[in-house]
Chains A and B, each alone.
Chain A
Amino acid sequence: MPDSDDERFETYLKQFRPLVPDVLPAREIRPEPRRRFVLTICTVGTVVAMVILGVVTLRVLNHRTTGESAQSATVKGVEPAPLTIRRANALLATAPSYKAVMNELAFPVKRSTVPKDKQSALAVLGKEKIKL
C-alpha cells in the first residue's frame, strides 16, 4: 500500500516541471539539401528548355527561309509574263490571226531550255513523218 505521505510528496515533486529541451534540429537541417536539390533541378531544367527552344526556333527559321526561296524560285519559273495592253498590241500585230493570239494568251507555249548542242526529242519527233 502506498503511503499517503509518499503520495503527497510525489505530488509536490511533480510541481517541479522539467525544462523544455531546445527545438529538434531535424526541421532546420532537412529542408536545406532538399531546397538545394530543387534549385539545381529547376536550373538544369530551365537551361535544357532554353537550349531545346533555341534549337527548335533555329530549325523553324531555317526551314521557313528555305521554303520561301524554293517557292519563289518555282513561281518565277512557271509564271508567264503579265498581259499588258502593249503586249496584247504586239501579239495582235505579229500574229497571223486573232484566233492565234487568243490561243497564245490562253495556252502560252513553254520555251524549253534545251542546250544548243542537244536536241529536244519532242521537236525531232514532231518533224518526222511517220507512215502508219
Chain B
Amino acid sequence: MGGANQNTDEIEVLYRQHGAALLLFASTMSGDRGRAQDALHQVFLKLIENESLSRAADKKAYLFACVRNAVLNDSNLQRRNIVLEADSVWFSPQDRDYAAEQNLRRALNSLPDDQREVVVLHVWGELTFSQIGDLLNASSNTIASRYRYALGKLRNSMLPKENSCAGFR
C-alpha cells in the first residue's frame, strides 16, 4: 500500500517535471493536441496501475518511449494520415509573441517526422543524442546528424520572418 502511494507520488512529480515536453512530443507526432493529451494520460495512468516505472533505468527516456508507443498505437488504430493541426497552440511564447509561436510551429510542421522528433526530444525534452538514439533505434551520430539538418532547416524557415538573426541573438 505504501509502495503504491510512493509510486503514485513519484509519477506525479515526473508528470509535473516532464508533462509539458511529453505533451509537445505527442502533439508533434499525432498532430492533435486532444489525442496527444489522451495518450499522455493513458501512459501515466497505466504507469500508476502496473508500477513498471520503478523497473526503468532511465525514467525520463522511458516516459518518452511510452508516449511515443501510445501515440503510434493510437495512430495505427485510427488508420489515417497524420495532419498537424494548424490552429492548436503548442507553446507559451515569451512576451505573448504569438506570431513567433505560429512561425515556429509552421517551421516544425515543415520538417520530416524523424527530424522533428529529434529536435523536440533534444531541445524541449532535453534528452541527449545517445538517449534519443536508444529511443529511436539509431546511433547517436545519426541522431546528431538529423538534428543539425533539422536545426538548419528551422533556422532557414524562421529567419526571413524573424528579420535575420536579430530575432534570437
Contacts and interface: CB of A to CB of B under 8 A. Distances in A.
Interface of A: 5-6, 8-22, 24-27
Contacts, number: 78
Contacts of A17: 20, 91-92
A6 B90 contact: no
A13 B104 contact: yes
22 contacts: A9-B154, A9-B168, A12-B167, A12-B168, A13-B123, A14-B123, A14-B124, A16-B101, A17-B91, A18-B90, A18-B124, A19-B23, A20-B20, A20-B23, A21-B22, A21-B23, A24-B12, A24-B15, A24-B44, A26-B8, A26-B12, A27-B12
Interface in B128-150: 148
A15 B167 CA distance: 12
Contact of B169 (A8, A10, A27): A8
Contacts of B86: none
Interface of B: 8, 11-12, 15, 19-24, 37, 40-41, 44-45, 48, 89-94, 100-101, 104, 119, 123-124, 148, 151, 154-155, 165, 167-169
Contacts of A21: 15, 19-20, 22-23, 37, 40
Contacts of B165: 5, 8
A20 B19 CA distance: 7
Secondary structure class of chain B's binding surface, majority of residues? helix
A21 B169 CA distance: 30
